[in-house]
Amino acid sequence: MQNPKIYLTRLCFSVLLIFTSHTVYALPEQALVPGGIALLQLPDYTQGTKVFFKNKRVAVFPYKNNWVAMAGIGLSVKPGSYEFTVKHADGQSDNRKFTVVYKKYKEQHLTIKNKRKVNPNKEDIERIAAESKRKRKAKTQFTEMTPSVDFIWPVTGRISSIFGLRRFFNEQERSPHSGLDIAADEGTPIKATADGTVIDTGDFFFSGNMIYIDHGQGVISLYAHLSKIDVKPGDAVKQGDIIGKVGQTGRVTGPHLHFSIIANQTTIDPVYMLPEEGNIILSSPEKPVKSVKN
């Protein structure tokens, strides 16, 4: 029978809303919406504790003399009650509930001159299928190292497209926007947003020149449409290292960096991982909003 004191202590687990000071570095900010982040405080964390959301292991990291679990909430997640599953080193487990609320995402209509980037031919489709396997492999990377989550902006520039937009290319609906587009001059240096290891790089049909970086325990950053890649798979990078340059390769309407963050195999809105004052140009089409009232 489980020790009553341990049981009562574990009942004190609660979903944690962390308000950061938004200094040069930023820790993840909770947003219980599709595309957002759920945070869970682990007051009695011990080595070997593992946390899961929707049967996928999530990142756990130290914060202010405590430990916190972070789950990415997919865009397809419906409003309602969900839970973390905490599996302790002693074999016991607990479920901690939280509620996801509705968020409406806007539409974006873009005109692509290269029609093959909207309606690929047979050869393109074969290439896309092969690349999809590489993308899935990168997205599911999980290493045991404690994740780096104090992200910085990879480049300074106007936000030209926000996360979650329902996208229409040449009036044909496609998947929602899976990242943040930052407009900048071609050739602008791109920084690694946190310490990590390069998982994969290459020229992809839709994404152009692209880099995946593993930051630990399923936290992965993605940089797309580059004009130049300056790293290779296996390279260890430090926060702020130059990893490539802004370009307009792949399916684009102009030079920009497409920046994505993946957590527990789920693409999330990067603004919840980025400091507010790290990018001085936060203008049209919409200034990212980091605070979410539930």
The token pair at 206 is 């839709």
Q: Is residue 143 part of a domain?
A: yes
Please say which residue of 76, 100, 124 terminates a domain: 100
Same domain, 160 and 57: no
Residue 56, pLDDT > 70, answer yes
- The DSSP element (H or E) to which 127 belongs, if any, is helix 122-139
Same domain, 254 and 189: yes
Please say which residue of 50, 72, 100 terminates a domain: 100
**Confidence bin at 24 (pLDDT 50/70/90):** very low
CB of 165 within 8 A of CB of 201?
A: no
Structure letter (DSSP) for residue 251: S
Work out how many domains the chain is built from and give that number. 2
Please say which residue of 82, 100, 118 terminates a domain: 100
Q: pLDDT tens for residues 146-179?
A: 998 899 999 999 898 888 877 555 565 556 778 9
Residue 225 has a pLDDT of: 95
Q: Is residue 285 part of a domain?
A: no
The token pair at 275 is 């400091």
Same domain, 265 and 135: yes
Residue 290 has a pLDDT of: 42
Residue 236 structural domain: 107-278
Same domain, 80 and 116: no
Q: Is residue 50 part of a domain?
A: yes
Read off the CATH number of the domain in which 191 is found.
Answer: 2.70.70.10
Same domain, 39 and 180: no
| pTM score, whole prediction | 0.81
